[in-house]
Chain A
Amino acid sequence: MTFISEILLALFLLAALRLAGASRLKHCIAVTACQGTVTALYPLFVHNWAEFSHDTNMQMILLALLTLGVKGFLLPALLVRAMHTAQVKRELEPLVSYPVSILLVVLFACGAFTLCVKYPVAPAGTSVLAAPSALIAIFTGLFIIVARKKAITQSIGFLFFENGITLFGACMKLEYGFLVEFGILLDVFVLVFVMGIAVFHISREFEHIDADRLHLLGDTMEPAKQGETAK
C-alpha cells in the first residue's frame, strides 16, 4: 500500500512539472485529469481500514468514486468541451515562458521540501512526499493562474490548485465527514462548470479568451471630452 501511495505522490509531483511545460491545452487537461485521479485514489491507500467502522469505510469508497468521476472524467470533459467551443488549441505566448516556468516549479519544490522538513505537518506514518507534493501543486496552480493568458488555462490552474489543497487534507488524514467533503466536491464541479460557460461567452463576445486583454474595466478612465457621449 505504501509503495502504491508513494508512486501516486510521485505522479502528482510529475504532473506539476508537466503542466508547467505544456503548451497544448489538450495536454494540460490530460495532466489535470491524471492529477484528479491521483487525488481521488490516494486517500484509499493511506486510510486505516481496520480502525474505522464499516459505514465510514463505505463512505470513504463512495467519496473516492465520486471524486474520481468528477475530477478524473467529468471536469476534464467539460474543459475539453470549453476548449472546442472557444476554438483554442494552445497557449501560444504565455506571460512566463515554458522553460522559466519549469525552473520555477523546481524552485517551488525545493522550497516546499525545505518548509516541510523544518515544520513537519503530516502525522506520523504519512509519506514524507505527501505534504510537499500538495504544497507544490498549490503553488503551481496559483502560478499557472497568473502566468498564463488564456481563461481556460486559468481554470486548469485553479483545478490544479484545488487538487493540491485536497491532497493536503488527505495527507493530514483530515476527515470532515461525508456531507462537507461532498459539498466541497460539488462546489468545485459547479465552479468549473460556470467557468466553462464563462469561457464560451468570453470567446463569443471578445473573439478571444485572453484574460490579459480583458481590460475594459478599471479606475484609469479618461475624462470626457467636448462632444463625447455616454457609452
Chain B
Amino acid sequence: MIQLLLVFIPIFSAVAVWRIKNRQNRMRMLLALTSLMHLVLSAVMTFRSEWNADFSWLQHWLYADELGKCFLFLTSLLFCMVAIHTVFWIKAEQDAQETREHPEGLLKLHIFVSGLLAFEGMMTLVILSVDFGLLWVAVEATTLVSAPLILFHRSARSLEAMWKYLLICSVGIGLALFGTMLLAAAMPPGEGDLRFTHVTGVRHLLKPVWFKASFIFILAGYGTKMGLAPFHTWLPDAHSESPGTVSALLSGALLNCSLLGIIRFYEAAPDEMKSFCANLMVALGILSLVFAAFFTVRQLDFKRLLAYSSVEHMGLLSILWSIPSIRDAAAIHMYAHSLIKMALFLTAGNLLLACGTRRTDLLGGLSGKLQRNSILFFAGVLMICGVPPSPIFATELRLIMALPPIAGAAVLILLLIIFAAMTHTVLHLICGPDKKVLPDESLSIQAEKLVWIPGVMLVLALALGMIQLHSIL
C-alpha cells in the first residue's frame, strides 16, 4: 500500500495545487509538506522491509527491491531538499523580477508547483515499477511533466531549450520503447511477461540476437534521457536554461531514473552477453568523458559548465555500473554526484539571482558580495572534481584501478582536463577581478540567505566522503 501512497500523494497534491492557485503561501506549504511526507514514507519503505510487501497484487506493478530502495531514498531526499529551497527561492525570484531592467516574466506559480509535484510522482513510479513496459511509461511521463518546468523564465531561450528537450528525449524514449519490444521478441515462445523478476528468471533462454538489438536501442533510448554522449545534446541547453531548482532535480534525480532503466536491462542480460552490454556501456561512458572534457574547456556559461559535468558523471556511472566488482562504488558515486551537483545547481541559481547573467566572461570577483555562495560554489566544484575528502575521489580511484591500464589512463587524463577547466573558470569567477556585471546589492543579500540547503547537502556529501576515505585507508 505504501508504494501506492508514494506515487499518488505527489500526484494528488499536484492536482490540489490547481484548487488553491490564488494562494501562493498555501501552494508553497503544500509543496514542502508533500515532499516531507514522501521522504518519511520512503525512509519507512527503505528501512522497514515488511511495509514493502503487503499486497501481492500490487507487487505485480510496484515494488522496491534493494536497487529500487537505493534510488528511492536518494530521489526522495533530494526532492525534499529542493522543495524546501524552492519555498524560499521562489519568493526571492519574484522580487528579483520587479527589480530587473528587462523582466522576462515567470511561469504561473501553480503550474510550476504542480509540475514539480507531478515530477516527483513520476520519478517514484519509474523507481517502483517492476515491469519493463510500465518503466517506459513512467520515464516518458517524467519528460512530459518536467518540460514545462524548463520554461519557468519565459524567455525565447528557455522555449528553445524546452522544445529540444521535448523532441530529443521523446525520440530517445521512443527508441527505448522499440528496444522493449525487441526484448519481448527475445523472450522464449509463450513467455510474454515483461516483469523484471520473470525476465531475469528466463534470461538463459533469451534469443541472443534479439537481446543484443534490444540492449542497443535501450542504451540509445534511456541513454538519451540520461545524457550519455553522443545523445546528450538536449542536456546542456535544458540544464542551463532551467531555474536552479529544476536543473538540480534534472541533474540530481532525473538522470538517475534513466540510469536505473539501463541497469534493469543490464541485469536481465544472459551471462554470456554481459560483456557485450558492459563494453557498450564503457564505450559510451568514455565518449561522454571525452565530450565533457572538450566542452568544459573555455566554457563561458557557468550553468553549462555544470551541465557538462553531469555528462561526465553519467559517463562515469555508466562505466561503474558495468563492472560488477565495484557496484558499491557505483552506488556511492551516484549518491555523491546527486548531492554535490544538486548543491552546485542551487548555488548557481543563487548566483544567477544576484547577477542576472550566467556568462563567466562578464562576471568576476563574486567572493566580495556573495561570499557564502562563492565558498559553497568553489567547495562544490572541488568536490565534484574528486578532490579529497570528496566521496568521488574514492570512487574514481577504484574505477581507474578496476579498468585495464590504457582505459584507466585515458579516464584519468580526461578527469584531469575537466578538473583543470572547471577550477580555472570558477576561480576566475570568484577570485578574479571585477568585470562588467556586478551583483545587485539587495538581490545579493537575498541570495546569501539561500545557502542553507546547498550547505547541508555539501556537508552530507562530505560526511559520505569521510566514511569512504576511512574505509580505504
Contacts and interface: CB of A to CB of B under 8 A. Distances in A.
A169 B301 CA distance: 44
B157 A216 contact: yes
Contacts of A219: 236, 295, 299, 304
Contacts of A205: 156, 159
A165 B163 contact: no
A165 B162 contact: no
B30 interface: no
Interface in A163-202: 165, 168-169, 172, 174-177, 179-180, 183-184, 186-187, 190-191, 194-195, 198, 201-202
A119 interface: yes
Contacts of A175: 192
Interface string A64-101: 00000000000000000000000000000000000000
B210 A121 contact: yes
Interface string A220-231: 010110011111
Contacts of A176: 131, 133, 194
Contact of B181 (A119, A172, A211): A172
A172 to B, nearest CB: 6
Interface residues of A, number: 47
Nearest to B140: A187
Contacts of A161: 171, 174
Contacts of A217: 157, 160-161, 164, 236-237, 240-241
B137 A180 contact: yes
B92 interface: no
B160 A214 contact: yes
Given A184-B177, A221-B300, A224-B436, A216 B156 contact: yes
Nearest to A168: B181
Contacts of B136: 184
Contact of A183 (B137, B143, B304, B359): B137
Interface in B135-191: 136-137, 140-141, 143-144, 147-148, 151, 156-157, 159-164, 166-167, 170-171, 174, 177-178, 181, 184-185, 189
B374 to A, nearest CB: 18
A187 B174 contact: no
B181 A230 contact: no
Nearest to A215: B160
A154 B168 CA distance: 11
Interface string B237-251: 100110000000000
A142 B140 CA distance: 18
Contacts of A214: 160, 163-164
A206 interface: yes
Given A165-B178, A231-B357, A180 B237 contact: no
A198 B159 contact: yes
Given A121-B210, A219-B295, A224-B362, A198 B162 contact: yes
Contacts of B299: 219
A151 interface: yes
B378 interface: no
Contact of A228 (B166, B209, B362): B362
A224 B361 contact: yes
Interface of B is mostly: helix
B192 A174 contact: yes
B436 A198 contact: no
Contacts of A202: 159-160, 163
Contacts of B37: none
Interface in A131-157: 138, 142, 145, 151, 154
B148 A194 contact: yes
A221 B147 contact: no
A64 B258 CA distance: 30
Nearest to A155: B167
B356 interface: yes
B230 to A, nearest CB: 14
B144 A194 contact: yes
B196 interface: no
A158 B171 contact: yes
Nearest to A122: B185
Nearest to A205: B156
A224 B361 CA distance: 6
Contacts of A168: 178, 181
B357 A230 contact: yes
3 smallest CB-CB distances across A and B, nearest first, come from A230-B357, A183-B137, A180-B133
21 contacts: A121-B185, A158-B167, A162-B174, A162-B177, A174-B181, A174-B192, A180-B133, A184-B133, A184-B177, A194-B148, A198-B159, A198-B166, A205-B156, A217-B161, A217-B164, A224-B359, A227-B436, A230-B355, A230-B356, A231-B357, A231-B359
Interface of B: 61, 131, 133-134, 136-137, 140-141, 143-144, 147-148, 151, 156-157, 159-164, 166-167, 170-171, 174, 177-178, 181, 184-185, 189, 192, 194, 209-210, 236-237, 240-241, 295, 299-301, 304, 355-357, 359, 361-362, 436-437
Given A180-B134, A231-B359, 16 more contacts: A123-B189, A154-B167, A168-B178, A172-B185, A184-B136, A186-B137, A187-B141, A191-B170, A202-B159, A202-B160, A211-B163, A217-B160, A223-B361, A224-B361, A227-B436, A228-B362
